[in-house]
Amino acid sequence: MRMDFILISYAIVDGFCIVYTLAILFNLSDSVASEHEVKELRGLLFVYLAFLSSDMVGGLVNGGISATYPLLGAIASGIAVITASLGCFLWYRFVEDRLRPFHVVSKAYRIATCVPIAFVCTFEAASIFTGWLFYIDAGGYYRTTDLFNYLPGVINYLYLSVPTVIALAFARREASAPKRTEYLSYASSMLVALAVGLTEDTFPDIPILSLCVFMVYNVLFLRLFVRRIDVDALTGLHSRESLGRYLAKAMTETSGKRSLGLCVVSVKGMGAYNDRYGHLAGDEALVALAHAVDAASVDLDAFAARDGGDEFCLVVNVARHTRNEVEAEVRTRLEGARGDARGGRELPSCDIACSGYPASAPDAEDLAHPSGSKVLRSQPIL
């Protein structure tokens, strides 16, 4: 009777994870993330659903039906271990693409990273019939061999640990606070999952792996919704909505001794640039310019945001930096980005407009649009 209760409890946990994963899938659209990200996330979630379903079936037949029909238990276990390995590989690809969204890797590199997972999945599929990695014992229970820990165990942990280490390294040298937070979220959630996953054999009656993956995807999906509101998906800068909230709050907190200044960088000719080099190159150019603006914001202790398709904003404390200092810093960073441009393509030219406002400025919406009557100075810088 106790065994039945354990099996039912195990299946209930997996079932709960299935319902939650389906809810994520139904709410996953291009409005949450980019088209490429959504495609990768859907792949991760479909593989996770296949794992949960097979794990639930395997848990229910474990020790009972599997004793009479060992092949059924072996098939369910085989699907579970194969999808677990595929999930590790897809997570590696997802984090790698997020860390370097515009990095073009060679075909040889792609093949090299796919060979281990292909080898592991082939061995796992063969083990359904051969028992090389796992088998169903005489009592109908799932068991693994020593080879299981050395083959899929090591390779799967490499697929998970390598992007975790790289994410930590990227976070350490990333100047953008939103990007740094994103990288740390990848690393921290996976470090917890890896640590807890090591206890799976200690608690065989609890679906540890299912819960670990559930935690990681929960953190990731919540981050996507937060980023949708606060962070521009392409550049990693603060979004227009975040800029409005920041300005509204800053305007209420300013005093006579502190005033705000706004520096707007407008990218010129993006339409012609996209027509000439393609939209992917246009996105790369915007990201490069955004990184330059973000770097300037770190030096100026400013708030950086993307205010539109081809416009970036810096909110600065004019009590600390003069307009000339702000313009010089932004100009230097943008010229540096132009010098680092790859592929023989010059970055689009930009205009800069800096405006200073006293604490009594009427409202944040006017401050967010200095291209009108409030512009004090405008000049081309590239």
Q: What residue spans define the domains of the chain? A: 2-230, 240-380
Q: What CA–CA distance (Å, rounded) separates 223 from 232?
A: 13
CA–CA gap between residue 125 and residue 130 (Å, rounded): 9
DSSP H stretches of helix in the chain: 2-27, 35-61, 65-68, 70-99, 107-130, 146-150, 152-173, 177-197, 208-230, 240-253, 270-277, 279-300, 323-339, 364-367
Q: In which residue are the tokens 């227009």 written?
A: 240
CATH of domain 2-230: 1.20.1070.10
The alpha carbon torsion through 195, 161, 163, 56 (nearest 10 deg) reads: -60
Residues 60, 65, 69, CA angle at the centre, nearest 5°?
130
Q: How confident is the chain (382 residues) per 10-residue block, as mean pLDDT? A: 62 88 82 72 92 88 78 92 94 85 74 94 95 91 89 91 90 76 84 76 73 80 70 80 81 61 89 86 87 88 86 86 87 82 74 66 47 37 36
Q: Do domains 2-230 and 240-380 have the same CATH topology?
A: no
Sheet of strand 303-308: strand arrangement: 303-308, 311-317, 260-267, 350-357, 377-380
Helix (H) or strand (E) holding 308: strand 303-308
- State the pLDDT at residue 228: 66
Q: Exposed/middle/buried for 49, CB within 10 Å: 0-12, 13-18, 19+?
A: middle
Q: At what angle do helices 323-339 and 279-300 cross, to 10 degrees?
A: 140
pLDDT of the residue at 382: 37
pLDDT in the model for residue 38: 80
* Residue 123: per-residue pLDDT: 95
DSSP conformational letter for 71: H
CA 50 to chain centre: 22
Superfamily of domain 240-380: Reverse transcriptase/Diguanylate cyclase domain (3.30.70.270)
CA neighbor of 181 nearest in space, from 98, 265, 300: 98
115 vs 339: CA distance, rounded Å: 38
Lookup result for tokens 């994870």: 17
Token pair for residue 184? Answer: 């740390």
> How far is the C-alpha of 294 from the C-alpha of 258, rounded, in Å?
23
- Give the span between the Cα atoms of 216 and 185, in whole angstroms: 9
> Where is 306: in which H helix or E strand?
strand 303-308
* Other beta carbons less than 10 A from residue 324's beta carbon: 10
Q: Helix, strand, or coil here: 144?
A: strand
Please give the C-alpha separations between residue 104 and each of 61, 325, 343, in angstroms, as whole numbers: 46, 37, 12
Distance, in Å, from the CA atom of 216 to the CA atom of 92, rounded to the nearest integer, reads 13
End-to-end alpha-carbon separation of the chain, Å?
77
Q: Tokens representing 284? A: 């790369």
